[in-house]
Amino acid sequence: MNETSPLSPRVTLKAKRDQSIRRRHPWVFSGGIKRIEGQPKAGDWVQVFANKGACLGWGHYSPDASIAVRMLTFEDALPDDNWWHQQIADAVRVRKDLGLFGQEGQNTCRLIHAEGDGMPGLIADLYGSVLVLQCHTPGMHRNLDDLVEGFRLALGDVMVGVYDKSAKTLAKNGGVTSEDGWVWGKAPANHKALEYGNQYVIDWEKGQKTGFFLDQRENRALLGSLSKGKKVLNVFSYTGGFSISALSAGASEVHSLDSSARALEVCEENIRLNGMDVSKHKSIQADAMEYLKTENLSEYDIVVLDPPAFAKRASARHAAVQGYKRINLRALGMMKSGSLLFTFSCSQAVDDALFANTIVAAAIQAGRTVRILHRLHQPPDHPVNVFHPEGSYLKGLVLRIDD
């Protein structure tokens, strides 16, 4: 740790607004700030103090955001290079101890999950030998060199390239203009990612998020275990993660539905890459909401509804709930007796109870008997900081539908 500088900008909180920070919740909201000393800019380190003067720690400043400071440490001293390296080493060690990567048939893993690993504003996903970084705050992006060095030390020869995919997320959060690109090493030839033995082409340059949705890994495996001999519809399929899992497990037929032609192209490439029977797969380019209004789903044994986040903030919660209800009502109303529905929400603002109640409301309106077989969540490489319950964002249900 570096010694505290008397010239460092200081953020002092209003009375009684320090309680959550003392409980190590990492967010300082703009409405809780009493005064700011100095002139911090976006991404600057600021030292945070309680109303009566006690130092609460250090964080990155975001002047135009509702979350004005994201706390990285709750100590008096400013983090130095070694702090970054140690945080990364600890996060990688947790994944190795759990056997989450480096095993046969498995070389993909989230190595840093923002607040879940004590590094708010950073996502780091490993795809084989390529690490994709996505910084959500200017402060995190300023420390890119420390991050790369930390991962080089923690991963050694496993990592041959680091790709920075932060431009869009920084633009949304007040960051300076930047471009995505390689910040260390380069792309290996014929690069493929492995998940439970299935191969995937990862489009980290043009794909969503860091190129793939690692948070559905265990849920894809569960789908596979139930798919043998079944006809499956994968709605909001993106590049076909659930589709590949179903086909590799012996599904009789799989249909992948997405609005993106590029995503469906990658899906079909993944099917060929794994040597699967292309005649058992069909790509459907369509708007999912419109498709569900008009098409009959009774031919399918399993339907997967994995939509993008309908609510990224609390103010959009009501509209999101209505959206989840609509798509699930349509599926529940049309699916045949004995079929299974995998339904998900990745909206942080919609918690487990609210999502389950929304599905209950849809089942009542559809007039169907529905049983919950599994409750699904994000995997352990997407950990939830016990002091930051908001980090639990992915929830899902596996439902059996009967008359």
Examine the fold and report which residue of 159, 193, 227 is the final residue of a domain before the chain moves on: 193
Q: Are residues 19 and 151 in the same domain?
A: no
Helix (H) or strand (E) holding 121: none
Examine the fold and report which residue of 55, 73, 91 is the final residue of a domain before the chain moves on: 73
Measure Cα distances from 86 to 37, 57, 80, 91, 402 in Å.
30, 18, 10, 9, 52
Q: What pLDDT is stored for residue 176 in this prediction? A: 65
- What is the C-alpha separation between 129 and 158, in angstroms, rounded? 6
Q: What pLDDT is stored for residue 191 in this prediction? A: 85
CATH number where 38 lies = 2.30.130.10
Q: Does position 197 have pLDDT exceeding 90, yes or no?
A: yes
CATH number where 100 lies = 3.30.750.80
Q: Are residues 153 and 302 in the same domain?
A: no
Domain with 140, as residue range(s), is 81-193
**Which of 103-107, 182-186, 399-403 has the weakest average pLDDT?**
103-107
In 13-123, which ranges are continuous DSSP H helix? 19-22, 81-97
Q: What pLDDT is stored for residue 6 in this prediction? A: 53
Mean pLDDT of the 268-297 span: 96
Helix (H) or strand (E) holding 245: helix 241-248
Total domains, the chain: 3
Q: Are residues 27 and 109 in the same domain?
A: no
Phi/psi zone of residue 321: left (φ > 0), alpha (ψ -120 to 50 degrees), beta?
A: alpha
Q: Are residues 176 and 256 in the same domain?
A: no
Q: Does position 4 have pLDDT exceeding 60, yes or no?
A: no
Q: Does position 190 have pLDDT exceeding 90, yes or no?
A: no
Contact assessment for residue 63 and residue 34, using Cβ atoms and an 8 Å cutoff: no
Examine the fold and report which residue of 49, 73, 97 is the final residue of a domain before the chain moves on: 73
The predicted model scores a pTM of: 0.94
Q: Which residues pair with 108 in a beta bridge?
A: 127
- What is the C-alpha separation between 27 and 123, in angstroms, rounded? 17
Give the pLDDT confidence of 120-176 residue by residue, as tens digits. 999 999 999 999 999 999 999 999 999 999 999 999 999 999 999 999 999 887 666
Q: Residue 343 in 3-state DSSP?
A: strand
Phi, psi of 257 (to 5 degrees): -115, 125
Structure token pair of residue 259: 């609005």
Q: Are residues 267 and 343 in the same domain?
A: yes
Q: Are residues 112 and 170 in the same domain?
A: yes
CA atoms within 13 A on the CB side of 225: 9
